């Protein structure tokens, strides 16, 4: 059979056709550079909403944690129309710990929009996501965002972006990218800083012109790659991905090509397309469409849904290996079961196995104990987000200190390294470099813009960053910015001291008292307030010295004929230190654990002693 060499309706390259009415685009950027806000403006200006329709900010942040923290955790896709062309937009996470989301979504698209803050410039995650895009040879549109900032320096930032492309060995054709200056908050874009933008029309036109239409082989049968998983209360598990070749219809009989090389027959029960923020049921999906399929209970991320009679799977998606692991175990404290609905090891196991199926960036392994599981991820934040989501679902569990994952090559132990970028006022250079040195950090660059702030770049072991963020914020009085990303493997860098101070450990169960706390304040910083229940082995504070100290924090003032026992009501106490989940994980040592319940976070020694016998 001879393939045709011309086509009136579609553009052809070799034997490939293109669907000219579709563009698939991913928006990539560092944390807080304005991705989701820009997507909001694009949706509004595409005519998706009525003029009197009420919409919220950051519409793509559908998870409560995303809206609370102001970051994107899970990649999401939407669709809009411009000049008769359908633009499928994928909003990707900006934090390095969720890099697996970025790697997956880049397989869905044919081009990327790289957003860079006009003041901060390219940061570690910018480098990471751009490197992935260049490896996939995706054409790039550059948007210098937040040009309304007082400290904006768009010309310098653009030069930094050019340097970054060259440093990443971008090919000559990928260096010829369009440049826009945007203000996502007001929804404007312009090609020239001297000409104020009026709307996002220049951006839409750049997308249509720069991003190529999806290409496909007209003679190949169905090839649909699963990139994301979701859940619908009516139809169950949804597999989201792109149709690379062929077509798929509702009720089609297909085959799932698993990673192990086996094929499993299946059927398409329901087929969903996307219109704006909504899923709409469709009867047919063609090449280049991003759709959701229902009816596949065993299809995993990275696998292919293909033709049942002539299966032809796509290569599976490669995801970078995890670098940090933690032990998750059932809650065995005396307060177990008081606040949570799910407290057994079976329930914990089911939840972690469910997460492993949905999130390819997470790895879960069995341990010697049936109640304990080792969970590995790309960073502390990714694991902390998982823990926070579980506690909101009603789970109780204990988690140990984050540990880095090493590997051995040719008899040499290798550990993961991080590229650390710090942006601080000049007066804090000494205190920051003094702390980085003992953590085995090596300075690789120092840039002074003359604005009173300095940017320092280090290469540091991943374990050197555990517990450092809190110290950094204290040393810089909250004015510093700290960003890091995985930077390969290196030989073991030597021992690194962790927490310098010991812990104040409760030696009995009871309720804390103002009298006891007042007398313990000179010994360190307390984590608990008066009248809080505690148990033996619970960590109630940080000792001012390097050793642990058992304390009686339930001691009451005795009643005498000289003093009344209620006279302590006038005692003035220092407010306790209230730590977030991430701060707790950074603080603990190897022999300590964090007790996580839906309402409480407690630190404790491992193992906890039983109650004293009277």
Tens digits of per-residue pLDDT, 388-405? 889 888 999 999 988 888
Q: Which among 137, 133, 127 has a CA at the least distance from the CA of 103? A: 133
Give yes or no for a contact between 121 and 163, defined as CB atoms under 8 angstroms apart: no
- Rounded distance, CA 554 to CA 512, Å? 4
Q: Which pair of structure tokens corresponds to residue 3?
A: 């393939």
281 vs 64 pLDDT, higher one: 281
* pLDDT, the chain, mean: 81
Any idea which of 69-78, 86-95, 259-268, 582-591 has the lowest mean pLDDT? 69-78
- Rounded distance, CA 77 to CA 32, Å? 19
pLDDT of residue 95: 53
Tens digits of per-residue pLDDT, 135-163? 888 899 999 988 888 888 888 889 988 88
259, pLDDT greater than 70: yes
Tens digits of per-residue pLDDT, 169-186? 888 888 888 899 988 888
Strands of 253-257's sheet, edge to edge?
Answer: 263-267, 253-257, 304-307, 223-232, 236-245, 290-294, 270-275, 278-281
Any idea which of 19-23, 94-98, 140-144, 412-416 has the lowest mean pLDDT? 94-98
Q: Which among 363, 388, 361 has a CA at the least distance from the CA of 373? A: 363
Q: DSSP strand E in 286-410: where?
A: 290-294, 304-307, 324-329, 363-366, 372-377, 397-399, 403-404, 407-409
pLDDT of residue 168: 82
299 vs 541 pLDDT, higher one: 541
Of the pLDDT bands very low, low, confident and very high (cuts 50, 70, 90), residue 603 is very high
pLDDT of residue 363: 87
Instruction: For residue 476, count other CB atoms closer than 10 A to its CB.
Output: 19
Give me the torsion for CA of 282, 288, 290, 295, rounded to 10°: 60
pTM greater than 0.95: no
- Rounded distance, CA 358 to CA 238, Å? 11
Q: What angle do CA 228, 130, 116 make, to 5 degrees?
A: 105
- Rounded distance, CA 104 to CA 507, Å? 50
For the chain, the residue count is 614
236, pLDDT greater than 90: no
> What mean pLDDT comes out for the span 558-584?
71
Tens digits of per-residue pLDDT, 295-311? 887 888 788 899 888 88
- Rounded distance, CA 290 to CA 585, Å? 38
pLDDT of residue 612: 44
pLDDT of residue 347: 92
pLDDT > 70: what percent of the chain?
A: 86
Tens digits of per-residue pLDDT, 442-453? 998 888 877 788
Tens digits of per-residue pLDDT, 78-135? 888 888 888 888 877 655 555 556 767 788 889 989 888 888 888 766 777 788 788 8
Any idea which of 238-252, 270-284, 390-404 has the lowest mean pLDDT? 270-284
30 to 34, 123, 594: CA distances (angstroms): 9, 7, 30
- Rounded distance, CA 469 to CA 584, Å? 12
Give me the torsion for CA of 52, 54, 59, 64, rounded to 10°: -170
Give yes or no for a contact between 178 and 210, defined as CB atoms under 8 angstroms apart: yes
The distance in angstroms from the start CA to the end CA of the chain is: 91
- Rounded distance, CA 356 to CA 366, Å? 13
List of long-range contacts for 469-478, beta carbons under 8 Å, 24+ apart: 469/582, 469/586, 470/583, 470/586, 470/587, 471/435, 472/422, 472/432, 472/435, 475/428, 475/431, 475/432, 475/435, 476/424, 476/425, 476/428, 476/431, 476/432, 477/428
SS3 516: helix
pLDDT of residue 372: 92
pLDDT of residue 280: 85
537 vs 477 pLDDT, higher one: 537
1, pLDDT greater than 70: no
SS3 230: strand
9, pLDDT greater than 70: no
Of the pLDDT bands very low, low, confident and very high (cuts 50, 70, 90), residue 487 is confident
Q: Which pair of structure tokens corresponds to residue 242?
A: 């792109």
Environment class of 2 (CB within 10 Å of its CB; exposed 0-12, middle 13-18, buried 19+): exposed
In this structure, the strands spanning 263-267 and 270-275 are unpaired
pLDDT of residue 75: 57
Residue partners of 138: CB distance under 8 A and separation at least 6: 26, 106, 109, 110, 111, 112
């Amino acid at each position: 059979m001879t393939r045709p060499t011309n086509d009136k309706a579609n553009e052809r390259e070799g034997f490939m056709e293109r669907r000219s009415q579709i563009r698939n685009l991913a928006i990539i950027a560092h944390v807080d550079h304005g991705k989701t806000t820009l997507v909001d403006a694009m949706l509004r200006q595409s005519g998706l909403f009525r003029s009197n329709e009420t919409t919220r900010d950051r519409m793509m942040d559908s998870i409560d944690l995303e809206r609370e923290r102001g970051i994107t955790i899970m990649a999401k896709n939407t669709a809009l129309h411009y000049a008769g062309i359908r633009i499928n937009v994928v909003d990707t996470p900006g934090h390095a710990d969720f890099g697996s989301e970025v790697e997956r979504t880049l397989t869905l698209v044919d081009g990327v929009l790289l957003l860079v803050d006009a003041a901060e410039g390219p940061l570690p995650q910018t480098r990471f996501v751009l490197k992935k895009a260049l490896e996939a040879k995706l054409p790039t549109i550059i948007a210098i965002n937040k040009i309304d900032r007082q400290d904006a320096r768009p010309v310098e930032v653009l030069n930094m972006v050019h340097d970054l492309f060259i440093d990443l060995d971008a090919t000559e054709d990928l260096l010829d990218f369009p440049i826009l200056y945007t203000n996502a908050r007001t929804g404007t874009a312009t090609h020239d800083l001297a000409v104020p933008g009026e709307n996002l029309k220049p951006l839409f036109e750049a997308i249509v012109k720069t991003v190529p239409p999806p290409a496909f082989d007209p003679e190949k049968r169905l090839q649909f790659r699963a990139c994301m998983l979701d859940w619908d209360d009516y139809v169950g598990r949804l597999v989201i991905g792109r149709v690379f070749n062929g077509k798929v219809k509702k009720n089609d009989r297909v085959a799932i090509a698993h990673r192990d090389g086996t094929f499993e027959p299946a059927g398409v029960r329901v087929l969903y397309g996307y219109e704006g923020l909504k899923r709409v049921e469709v009867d047919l999906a063609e090449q280049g469409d991003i759709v959701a399929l229902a009816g596949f209970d065993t299809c995993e991320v990275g696998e292919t849904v293909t033709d049942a009679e002539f299966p032809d799977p796509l290569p599976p998606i490669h995801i970078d290996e995890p670098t940090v692991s933690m032990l998750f175990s059932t809650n065995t404290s005396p307060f177990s079961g008081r606040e949570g609905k799910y407290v057994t090891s079976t329930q914990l196991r089911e939840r972690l196995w469910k997460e492993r199926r949905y999130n390819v960036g997470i790895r879960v392994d069995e341990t010697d104990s049936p109640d304990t599981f080792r969970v590995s991820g790309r960073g502390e934040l990714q694991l902390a987000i998982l823990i926070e989501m579980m506690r909101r679902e009603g789970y109780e569990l204990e988690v140990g200190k984050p540990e880095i994952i090493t590997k051995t090559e040719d008899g040499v132990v290798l550990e993961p390294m991080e590229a650390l970028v710090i942006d601080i006022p000049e007066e804090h250079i000494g205190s920051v470099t003094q702390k980085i040195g003992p953590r085995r950090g090596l300075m690789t660059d120092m840039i002074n813009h003359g604005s009173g702030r300095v940017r320092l770049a280090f290469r540091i072991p991943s374990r050197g960053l555990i517990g450092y963020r809190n110290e950094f914020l204290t040393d810089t009085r909250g004015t510093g910015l700290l960003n890091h990303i995985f930077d390969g493997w290196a030989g073991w860098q030597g021992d690194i001291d962790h927490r310098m101070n010991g812990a104040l450990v409760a030696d009995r169960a009871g309720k804390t008292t103002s009298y006891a706390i007042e007398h313990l304040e000179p010994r360190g910083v307390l984590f608990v307030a008066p009248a809080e229940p505690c148990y033996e082995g619970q960590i109630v504070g940080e000792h001012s010295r390097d050793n642990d100290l058992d304390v009686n924090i339930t001691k009451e003032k005795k009643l005498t004929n000289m003093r009344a026992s209620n006279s302590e009501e006038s005692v003035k106490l220092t407010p306790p230190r209230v730590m977030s989940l991430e701060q707790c994980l950074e603080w603990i040592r190897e022999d300590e654990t964090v007790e996580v319940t839906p309402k409480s976070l407690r630190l404790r020694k491992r193992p906890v002693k039983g109650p004293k016998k009277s």
